[in-house]
A and B are shown apart, each in its own frame.
Chain A
Amino acid sequence: MSTTLQPARPTMKKPVDYYRIYVWELPVRLYHGINAVAMILLCVTGYLIGEPHRVFYAAEAYQLYWFGIVRFIHFVSAFIWTFNFAFRIYWGFVGNRYASWRNYFPITKQQRHDIWNVLTTDVLQFRVKNDEIDIGHNSLAAFTYFITFLFFLAQVVTGFALYSSMSTSALPSMFNWIVPIMGGEAVVRFWHHLFMWFFVVFMIVHIYLAFYHDYIEGRGTISSIVGGWKFHREDDDNK
């Protein structure tokens, strides 16, 4: 026992044991990173395509291609984002228990109980202390991600439907039937643009809540998405 390692202040309670868990595997972390970058690029360029801002004035068209570049970034990000998402679905079947597709649907009684728990202690804060902190996603977050996936799907379908008019490749062409069903490209474009705002709102709430959990629980929520490790209290397992 070294004398230099005295506690800064006396411990009030019985000391607690934490152990380290490898929660987010590398593919999951890569998915998250690629998804985040692609989504930000898609939102920014998508907003600009819908509402182009004046960058140049009194120039000639043959000197510039900036709107073309904005659209190019949007389309490239969209392809990356789509295949990244497809990969994540695959990983939901082969990855570890925290990556499993089962997390995203409140199928078990335990998950529904957990949703109520998170709703009352973290979102609305009727209750102050959460005794059942989840290791992976909490069930409410996971269910929210499921809803996000539905918006992913809507954006993929409407986006490729719009893109199909400028492309002869196979993937976009698979979605051109959606245009007449939705009532023309103007309507598809409107919904595609509107759905973008869901992702803006999602990002605000998602980033805030990640910091919130890290701050309240002190278990490495933020660093876990970089390194994959989280910490869990040993006595939580007995509850």
Chain B
Amino acid sequence: MGLTIWQSMQQKGYSRRDFIQFCTAAATVAGLEHSAVGQVVNAFEKKEKPAVIWMHFQECTCCSESFIRASHPVVLDVLLDVLSLNYTETLMAASGAQAEKSLQDTIKNNKGKYIVLVEGAVPTKDDGVYCMIGGKTAESILQEVSKDAAAIIAWGSCASNGCIQAAKPNPTGATPIHKLVDKPVINVPGCPPIADVMMAVVTHILALGQMPQLDNQGRPKEFYGRRVHDTCYRRAYYDAGLFVEAWDDENARKGYCLYKMGCRGPVTYNACSVVKWNEGTSYPIQSGHGCIGCSEEGFWDNGPFYRHLPKFPGFGIESTADTIGTLVGIATVAGVAAHAVVTNVRKKSVIADVHTEDMKES
């Protein structure tokens, strides 16, 4: 406690050269330009190791799994060293009362300086009994840790928009973090979010001591500013109107656009098609499967995943807006045709009147 990042690296035997390399890597990961490296070096020389509390609520830990697979091991190693990860249910050695004490100590000793990372949604129904840790509800724990936090990051779709817990009918009243705390929250949605994006957001806060620029849904603009579609390598096939029609057709083999197979790329804001996954190996569309829009709010309820248009509520899974619309259109044509027939029968006298009005003496 109390050491700067540079001091703690010196203690571990890293050279000044290693340190500058790390700073450069950190700046790159955070999406900063080269001239900002000096700023990062400056910050890491003077700033104390920030204390971090990583909370787990209603989640599956896929965000943590993703995080520890970040593709820049140097950055990750040092960051995990650099961060003073004082409390995380999944990875910490302490348990029971000791773990609780560690949490309390961190809050007490780092008032206004520690970073809270939240993984998972918080249930609010029935006084929050659906997620309790150490006899306390997730909601009360969240309020406790967020009160004096310097920054709050919502990891993954659960914490950002509720994800599957909040899918209809949302039995536990799962609520995203930003609706429960009155501080600005950085949303990093995705199920899970891309490891390198998670790294970058943390690095940005560490390096610059400020929040990255956020969009109107609280997501960092540098990674969620564009749709998967906008930078997709299959985009040219979309503009050309060349689509995969079935999973096993020639078009699929040729790598045409998956739009008609329900790809959510055009409505999903994420960096998948740029950063990619697993050390930049691939991303869903490159592997031949459409995007399911896992970083978008309510993506579970906008199914089915393999259709471009969502199903029409109340008419079963096969009905889209177009089937309903076509039926209504046909019914309308039939309706006006019937009306035309009835008019000729009912209004015979009126029509006859019009026809006898035609000549006037002048």
Contacts and interface: CB of A to CB of B under 8 A. Distances in A.
A201 B359 CA distance: 39
A129 B239 CA distance: 56
Contacts of B281: none
B338 to A, nearest CB: 11
A51 B308 contact: yes
B236 interface: yes
A8 interface: yes
A128 interface: yes
B20 interface: no
Given A204-B333, A208-B340, A65 B309 contact: no
A238 interface: no
A208 B329 CA distance: 13
Contacts of A62: 236, 240
B302 interface: yes
B: interface residue count bin: 35 or more
A60 B346 CA distance: 60
Given A125-B342, A125-B343, A194-B321, A218 B241 contact: no
A58 interface: yes
Interface of B: 216-217, 227, 230, 236-243, 245, 250-251, 254, 259-260, 264, 266-269, 293, 296-299, 302, 308-310, 312, 321-322, 324-325, 328-329, 332-333, 336, 339-340, 342-343, 346-347, 349-351, 353-354, 356-361
Interface centre among B238, B347, B361 (most CB of A within 10 A): B347
Main secondary structure of the interface of B (DSSP, over half): helix
A64 B298 contact: no
A63 to B, nearest CB: 7
Contact of B302 (A12, A55, A190, A193): A190
Contacts of A180: 216-217, 297
Contacts of B298: 183-184, 186-187
Given A51-B322, A65-B240, 13 more contacts: A15-B357, A16-B357, A50-B308, A59-B240, A62-B240, A67-B238, A129-B349, A129-B350, A165-B269, A184-B297, A197-B322, A204-B333, A212-B340
A31 to B, nearest CB: 24
Given A67-B241, A201-B328, A204-B333, A8 B259 contact: no
A197 B354 contact: no
